[in-house]
Structure 1
Amino acid sequence: MIRHTVAFRLVHPDGSAEETAFLADGRRILTGIPGVEDFVVSRQVSPKSTHRFQFAMSFADQAAYDAYNGHPEHVAFVTTRWMPEVAEFDELDFVALAPAAPDAL
Protein backbone atom coordinates (compact mmCIF):
# COMPACT_ATOMS: atom_id res chain seq x y z
CA MET A 1 0.00 0.00 0.00
CA ILE A 2 1.19 3.52 -0.81
CA ARG A 3 0.09 6.52 1.26
CA HIS A 4 0.28 9.60 -0.97
CA THR A 5 0.27 12.97 0.79
CA VAL A 6 0.56 16.58 -0.31
CA ALA A 7 0.78 19.41 2.21
CA PHE A 8 0.16 22.82 0.66
CA ARG A 9 -0.65 26.50 0.94
CA LEU A 10 -3.11 28.12 -1.43
CA VAL A 11 -2.84 31.56 -3.04
CA HIS A 12 -6.37 32.33 -1.78
CA PRO A 13 -7.12 34.22 1.44
CA ASP A 14 -7.87 32.10 4.50
CA GLY A 15 -11.55 31.27 4.74
CA SER A 16 -12.34 32.60 1.27
CA ALA A 17 -14.90 31.14 -1.09
CA GLU A 18 -12.03 30.27 -3.46
CA GLU A 19 -10.28 28.28 -0.72
CA THR A 20 -13.47 26.41 0.09
CA ALA A 21 -14.13 25.68 -3.58
CA PHE A 22 -10.60 24.38 -4.18
CA LEU A 23 -10.78 21.96 -1.24
CA ALA A 24 -14.28 20.75 -2.20
CA ASP A 25 -13.38 20.36 -5.86
CA GLY A 26 -10.18 18.53 -4.97
CA ARG A 27 -12.11 16.06 -2.84
CA ARG A 28 -14.80 15.56 -5.49
CA ILE A 29 -12.47 15.20 -8.46
CA LEU A 30 -9.72 13.12 -6.87
CA THR A 31 -12.02 10.68 -5.09
CA GLY A 32 -13.71 10.00 -8.43
CA ILE A 33 -10.51 8.53 -9.84
CA PRO A 34 -10.34 4.71 -9.69
CA GLY A 35 -7.88 3.35 -7.14
CA VAL A 36 -8.08 6.29 -4.70
CA GLU A 37 -8.80 4.99 -1.19
CA ASP A 38 -9.07 6.63 2.25
CA PHE A 39 -9.02 10.21 0.90
CA VAL A 40 -8.73 12.83 3.66
CA VAL A 41 -8.51 16.62 3.57
CA SER A 42 -6.80 18.01 6.68
CA ARG A 43 -6.09 21.49 8.04
CA GLN A 44 -2.70 22.30 9.56
CA VAL A 45 -2.92 23.38 13.21
CA SER A 46 0.77 23.82 14.02
CA PRO A 47 2.52 27.17 13.57
CA LYS A 48 5.68 25.26 12.60
CA SER A 49 4.63 24.96 8.96
CA THR A 50 3.45 27.40 6.32
CA HIS A 51 1.38 24.67 4.69
CA ARG A 52 -2.26 25.07 5.65
CA PHE A 53 -3.82 21.91 4.20
CA GLN A 54 -3.11 18.32 3.28
CA PHE A 55 -4.64 15.89 0.83
CA ALA A 56 -3.86 12.27 1.75
CA MET A 57 -4.95 9.10 0.02
CA SER A 58 -3.97 5.46 -0.26
CA PHE A 59 -3.35 3.19 -3.23
CA ALA A 60 -3.31 -0.60 -3.13
CA ASP A 61 -0.06 -0.81 -5.08
CA GLN A 62 2.31 0.96 -7.46
CA ALA A 63 0.11 0.14 -10.46
CA ALA A 64 -2.89 1.89 -8.87
CA TYR A 65 -0.73 4.90 -7.97
CA ASP A 66 0.68 5.09 -11.51
CA ALA A 67 -2.81 4.86 -13.01
CA TYR A 68 -3.94 7.73 -10.75
CA ASN A 69 -0.98 9.91 -11.75
CA GLY A 70 -1.73 9.48 -15.43
CA HIS A 71 -5.51 9.62 -15.18
CA PRO A 72 -6.99 12.47 -17.28
CA GLU A 73 -8.97 13.87 -14.34
CA HIS A 74 -5.82 14.05 -12.18
CA VAL A 75 -3.78 15.61 -14.97
CA ALA A 76 -6.55 18.18 -15.62
CA PHE A 77 -6.84 19.02 -11.90
CA VAL A 78 -3.09 19.55 -11.61
CA THR A 79 -2.97 21.70 -14.75
CA THR A 80 -6.10 23.80 -14.30
CA ARG A 81 -6.41 24.07 -10.52
CA TRP A 82 -3.28 22.92 -8.65
CA MET A 83 -0.66 24.83 -10.60
CA PRO A 84 -2.44 28.22 -10.59
CA GLU A 85 -3.93 27.98 -7.08
CA VAL A 86 -1.24 26.33 -4.93
CA ALA A 87 1.49 28.67 -3.72
CA GLU A 88 3.77 25.97 -2.27
CA PHE A 89 3.63 22.28 -1.44
CA ASP A 90 5.50 19.20 -0.30
CA GLU A 91 4.62 15.79 -1.71
CA LEU A 92 5.45 12.65 0.25
CA ASP A 93 4.67 9.06 -0.63
CA PHE A 94 5.04 6.36 2.00
CA VAL A 95 5.02 2.58 2.17
CA ALA A 96 4.92 0.79 5.50
CA LEU A 97 8.06 -0.93 6.70
CA ALA A 98 7.83 -4.53 7.77
CA PRO A 99 8.13 -4.94 11.55
CA ALA A 100 11.66 -5.67 12.72
CA ALA A 101 12.38 -9.19 13.92
CA PRO A 102 12.47 -9.39 17.74
CA ASP A 103 16.11 -10.45 17.72
CA ALA A 104 17.02 -7.39 15.58
CA LEU A 105 16.19 -5.01 18.44
Structure 2
Amino acid sequence: MDQEGIRHVVQFRLKHKPDSAEAEAFLEEGRKSLSSIPVVKFFEVLRQISSKNKFDFAFSMEFLTQADYEAYDRHPVHVQFVEEFWKREVEDFLETDLKIWKD
Protein backbone atom coordinates (compact mmCIF):
# COMPACT_ATOMS: atom_id res chain seq x y z
CA MET A 1 0.00 0.00 0.00
CA ASP A 2 1.13 3.52 -0.77
CA GLN A 3 0.45 6.64 1.25
CA GLU A 4 -2.21 8.76 -0.43
CA GLY A 5 -2.50 11.66 1.99
CA ILE A 6 -2.94 12.78 5.57
CA ARG A 7 -6.13 13.03 7.62
CA HIS A 8 -5.94 15.61 10.40
CA VAL A 9 -8.59 15.22 13.10
CA VAL A 10 -8.91 17.45 16.15
CA GLN A 11 -11.47 16.36 18.73
CA PHE A 12 -12.35 19.03 21.28
CA ARG A 13 -14.56 20.23 24.10
CA LEU A 14 -15.56 23.87 24.22
CA LYS A 15 -15.96 26.08 27.26
CA HIS A 16 -19.56 26.56 26.06
CA LYS A 17 -22.43 24.07 26.32
CA PRO A 18 -22.54 21.92 23.15
CA ASP A 19 -25.99 23.17 22.08
CA SER A 20 -25.35 26.85 22.81
CA ALA A 21 -25.31 29.74 20.35
CA GLU A 22 -21.65 30.31 21.30
CA ALA A 23 -20.73 26.73 20.33
CA GLU A 24 -22.62 27.09 17.04
CA ALA A 25 -20.79 30.35 16.28
CA PHE A 26 -17.40 28.75 17.03
CA LEU A 27 -18.11 25.75 14.80
CA GLU A 28 -19.29 27.98 11.96
CA GLU A 29 -16.22 30.20 12.24
CA GLY A 30 -13.99 27.11 12.19
CA ARG A 31 -15.75 25.72 9.14
CA LYS A 32 -15.68 29.03 7.28
CA SER A 33 -12.07 29.90 8.12
CA LEU A 34 -10.28 26.56 7.95
CA SER A 35 -12.06 25.24 4.87
CA SER A 36 -11.04 28.41 3.01
CA ILE A 37 -7.35 27.43 3.14
CA PRO A 38 -6.50 26.12 -0.36
CA VAL A 39 -4.59 22.98 0.75
CA VAL A 40 -7.48 21.76 2.97
CA LYS A 41 -9.51 18.96 1.38
CA PHE A 42 -12.74 17.30 2.62
CA PHE A 43 -13.25 19.56 5.67
CA GLU A 44 -15.93 18.35 8.09
CA VAL A 45 -17.40 19.54 11.39
CA LEU A 46 -18.43 16.50 13.44
CA ARG A 47 -20.47 15.99 16.61
CA GLN A 48 -19.45 13.19 18.98
CA ILE A 49 -22.29 10.85 19.97
CA SER A 50 -20.41 8.18 21.93
CA SER A 51 -20.54 8.26 25.73
CA LYS A 52 -17.05 6.67 25.70
CA ASN A 53 -15.43 9.87 24.43
CA LYS A 54 -15.01 13.02 26.53
CA PHE A 55 -14.97 15.36 23.51
CA ASP A 56 -18.08 16.92 21.97
CA PHE A 57 -16.90 17.92 18.50
CA ALA A 58 -14.22 17.35 15.89
CA PHE A 59 -12.81 19.08 12.85
CA SER A 60 -11.59 16.63 10.22
CA MET A 61 -9.72 17.48 7.03
CA GLU A 62 -7.36 15.90 4.55
CA PHE A 63 -4.13 16.99 2.89
CA LEU A 64 -2.58 15.50 -0.22
CA THR A 65 1.00 15.74 1.08
CA GLN A 66 3.06 16.43 4.20
CA ALA A 67 4.06 19.76 2.62
CA ASP A 68 0.37 20.70 2.32
CA TYR A 69 -0.16 19.88 6.00
CA GLU A 70 2.80 22.02 6.97
CA ALA A 71 1.54 24.88 4.76
CA TYR A 72 -1.85 24.67 6.52
CA ASP A 73 -0.23 24.72 9.95
CA ARG A 74 1.54 28.01 9.25
CA HIS A 75 -1.15 29.56 7.01
CA PRO A 76 -2.22 33.01 8.30
CA VAL A 77 -5.91 32.04 8.40
CA HIS A 78 -5.15 28.98 10.55
CA VAL A 79 -2.83 30.96 12.84
CA GLN A 80 -5.45 33.70 13.22
CA PHE A 81 -8.22 31.18 14.01
CA VAL A 82 -6.06 29.55 16.70
CA GLU A 83 -5.16 32.89 18.29
CA GLU A 84 -8.60 34.56 18.11
CA PHE A 85 -10.94 31.62 18.69
CA TRP A 86 -9.27 28.31 19.58
CA LYS A 87 -7.16 29.46 22.53
CA ARG A 88 -10.07 31.45 23.96
CA GLU A 89 -12.90 28.93 23.54
CA VAL A 90 -11.49 25.37 23.61
CA GLU A 91 -11.28 23.71 27.01
CA ASP A 92 -9.53 20.47 25.98
CA PHE A 93 -8.55 18.70 22.75
CA LEU A 94 -6.86 15.72 21.14
CA GLU A 95 -5.12 16.05 17.79
CA THR A 96 -4.59 13.02 15.56
CA ASP A 97 -2.74 12.93 12.23
CA LEU A 98 -3.15 9.75 10.21
CA LYS A 99 -1.70 8.46 6.96
CA ILE A 100 -4.30 7.57 4.36
CA TRP A 101 -3.41 4.38 2.48
CA LYS A 102 -4.56 3.29 -0.94
CA ASP A 103 -4.60 -0.25 -2.31
TM-score (norm 2): 0.92
Counterpart in 1 of 2:64? 60
Q: Percent identity?
A: 47
Counterpart in 2 of 1:87? 91
TM-score (norm 1): 0.90
Q: Which has the higher strand share?
A: 2
Q: Give the structure, 1 or 2, with the largest relative contact order (CA under 8 Å, sep 6 or more).
A: 2
Does structure 1 residue 47 correspond to structure 2 residue 51? yes
5 Å matches for 1:1-105? 1-97=5-101
Q: How many angstroms does 1:70 deviate by?
A: 0.3
Structure 1 residue runs of 4 or more that deviate by more than 6 Å after TM superposition: none
Please say which structure displays the higher CA radius of gyration: 1
Question: Which runs of 5 or more residues in structure 2 are unaligned?
Answer: none
Report the number of matched residues: 99
- Partners of 2:102 and 2:87 lie apart in 1 by 36
Q: How many angstroms does 1:49 deviate by?
A: 1.2
